[in-house]
Amino acid sequence: MSLKKLSLMQKRALVGLTFILPWLIGFVFLFVTPLLQSVQFSFHELNVAPGGYELVYSGLENFKEALFVDANFNRILTESVAEMVLNVPMILFFSLFSAVLLNQRFRGRGLARAVFFLPVILASGAISAAETAGLISMTGSSQVAQELGEAQGGFDTLSLILLLDSAGLPEWFIDYIVNCTTRIYEIIRSSGVQILIFLAALQSVPPAMYEVAKMEGATAYESFWKITFPMVSPLILTNIIYTIIDSFSNSTVTQTIYETAFQSQNFGLSAAMSWLYTIVVSLILLVIGFLVSRKVFYYE
């Protein structure tokens, strides 16, 4: 079929398929087999044999052990979900706020954008890998650097609590704001990709909309809530999904699963934990995706 005969929607679908094709090929040839093996391992007990390994069918025993026998998995999973509920709104608010500021015209805008994305590179493991390989010579350790940062970055939380309390704000909201301020570096470190996504959304907003709003006498506050926020709302859903997955990928749950498999050598239990974790994340994504997608505005 000639490209000229395709409709606009078909051309967009073709572009989207072309974009995800490298990932799709890699998933089919590299990840499908391990994924199916993990399902198989979760229902079996894996024993190391001279020629490799042998599987002994155990049914749902691995899942029962993960949920009702293991002393830590339930607690760690619950804490990770609770931490995600706190982190996602903070990261989204900071990312959108930063993207709006970085979208303004000012000198050094490119440098400012790079500075906001720099924590993503530092937290990606590239620096530690280079240090391990001897490419970078650093004195001390990351733990020492973190302790020094915490010692020098003290914040008077008592003054903030008194200020918010005098304003008549509820206690739960005060706790949330204080938690945000004390974890500001963690929020910045987790917001680099989201800022880039919001920047792309802001730059795709037609300037004519702002010109018309200005001619009609709309203030900057009104322009944000009537134009900017609705136009970037599809990317808000994208960032919510990305932030949830990213928060779990670096959580103590994944570390526990890894230690169960490669330190305790219990691959069946580790696979069961992985699938329980996957089910929990999928349910959270389905619920949040359904609720948020109902409020998303799509510009045609």
Kindly list the domain boundaries of the chain, sorted by start residue.
56-106+191-300
**Residues comprising the chain, all counted:** 300
Residue 152 has a pLDDT of: 46
Cα torsion 140, 142, 145, 151 to 10°: value is -130
Q: Under a CB-based contact definition with an 8 Å cutoff, are residues 270 and 257 in contact?
A: yes
Both tokens assigned to 121:
């590179």
Q: How far apart are CA 160 and CA 178, in angstroms?
A: 7
Residue 188 has a pLDDT of: 79
Residue 124 has a pLDDT of: 56
Q: How far apart are CA 23 and CA 39, in angstroms?
A: 22
Quote the distance between the C-alpha of residue 13 and its chain's center.
26
Residue 142 has a pLDDT of: 47
Going by C-alpha positions, the residue among 185, 184, 182, 161 that lies closest to residue 172 is 161
Going by C-alpha positions, the residue among 183, 195, 203, 198 that lies closest to residue 115 is 195
Instruction: Note the CATH architecture for domain 56-106+191-300.
Output: Orthogonal Bundle (1.10)
Q: What angle do CA 180, 182, 185 make, to 5 degrees?
A: 85
Q: How far apart are CA 35 and CA 43, in angstroms?
A: 13
pTM of the model: 0.73
Residue 123 has a pLDDT of: 60
For the chain, which residues score pLDDT lower than 50?
Answer: 131, 135-140, 142, 144-145, 148, 152-153
Side-chain half-sphere exposure of 257, counting CA atoms within 13 A: 20
Q: How far apart are CA 42 and CA 270, in angstroms?
A: 8
